[in-house]
């Protein structure tokens, strides 16, 4: 499978869903864009890395990882978005130390936040871009004006159910355990925590 190089177009936020952001990646030698829904913390970390002039007074988590890697002479060579399952992107960080290469599994938002700090290239496979890439049929001015609408459409395609605590009360324990497994697999830890709370409320505590 051939790799396609990507660069970061920017981060947009949703006006209808609080705390939801979309990271937009550009195909370097093409017109497709790869949108990835990320959380507020990751969006902040990526935005700070993009704005070179902004220096937090204390290291953020990704800055700490970079400092740690520099101290032990570990270099991030590249990031590869290698899998897409049920709308969730999976990535690998390709590292090198003493000319020995290691591959580390990572959330895509974390991988990209680190790639920026190491000036490492970002790639995906052609079949992933064929599946999830989109064409934005706007001029640059129209795209800016319709930015929030585009993001809301991207996020709505995730089809995430409500995470309101009350929405889980009608489920059986087995259904809750299945939902919990699904939330963990999709890395929706906020949802997983709420489901876990509902399970704990029903199951007797071990004595």
Average pLDDT of the chain to the nearest whole number: 83
Bridge pairing between strands 75-85 and 122-125: parallel
pLDDT digits (tens, 9 = 90+) for 139-186: 555 555 555 555 555 555 554 444 455 678 888 888 888 888 887 877
Q: What are phi and psi of 206, to 5 degrees?
A: -70, 135
Contact yes or no for 36/109 (Cβ under 8 A):
yes
Q: Which residues pair with residue 92 across a beta bridge?
A: 80, 105
Q: SS3 for 25?
A: strand
Q: How confident is the model at residue 138 (pLDDT cuts 50, 70, 90)?
A: low
Range 52-72 average pLDDT: 89
- Its pTM stands at 0.72
């Amino acid at each position: 499978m051939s790799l396609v190089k990507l660069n970061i177009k920017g981060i947009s936020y949703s006006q209808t869903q609080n705390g939801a952001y979309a990271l937009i990646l550009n195909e370097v030698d093409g017109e497709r864009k790869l949108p990835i829904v990320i959380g507020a913390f990751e969006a902040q970390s990526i935005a700070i890395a993009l704005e070179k002039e902004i220096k937090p007074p204390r290291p953020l988590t990704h800055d700490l990882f970079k400092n740690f890697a520099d101290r032990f002479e570990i270099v991030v060579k590249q990031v590869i978005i290698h899998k897409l399952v049920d709308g969730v992107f999976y990535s690998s960080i390709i590292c090198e130390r003493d000319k020995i290469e290691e591959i580390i599994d990572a959330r895509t938002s974390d991988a990209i936040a680190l790639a920026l700090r190491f000036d490492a290239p970002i790639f995906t496979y052609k079949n992933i871009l064929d599946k999830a890439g989109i064409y934005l049929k706007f001029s640059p001015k129209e795209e800016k004006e319709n930015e929030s609408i585009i993001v809301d459409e991207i996020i709505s395609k995730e089809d995430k159910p409500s995470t309101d605590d009350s929405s889980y009360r009608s489920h059986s324990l087995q259904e809750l355990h299945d939902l919990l497994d699904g939330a963990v697999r999709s890395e929706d830890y906020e949802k997983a925590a709420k489901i876990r709370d509902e399970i704990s409320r029903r199951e007797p505590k071990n004595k």
